[in-house]
Amino acid sequence: FICQAKGCGKCFKRREHLKRHVLSIHTNDKPFKCHWPECNKTFSRHDNLNQHLKVH
């Protein structure tokens, strides 16, 4: 599965990995928000939010 984004062309063996790549790299969709007081970070992937929460 090849990323069709302009200038990318990155290859993946699994469709879900391509989808994850497109959502996290090629879109500005970041629906996962840190709800820690005064932290405004947002993430495209839930696992990245979970990793971030460890710093609080």
pLDDT of residue 6: 96
The pLDDT value recorded for residue 44 is 92
Q: pTM for the whole thing? A: 0.70
In this predicted structure, what is the pLDDT of residue 28?
87
pLDDT tens digit string along 10-46? Answer: 999 999 999 999 988 999 899 999 999 999 999 999 9
Which of 25, 54, 29 is closest to 39 using CA atoms? 54
In this prediction, residues 38-56 reach a mean pLDDT of: 96
Looking at residue 8, its pLDDT comes to 98
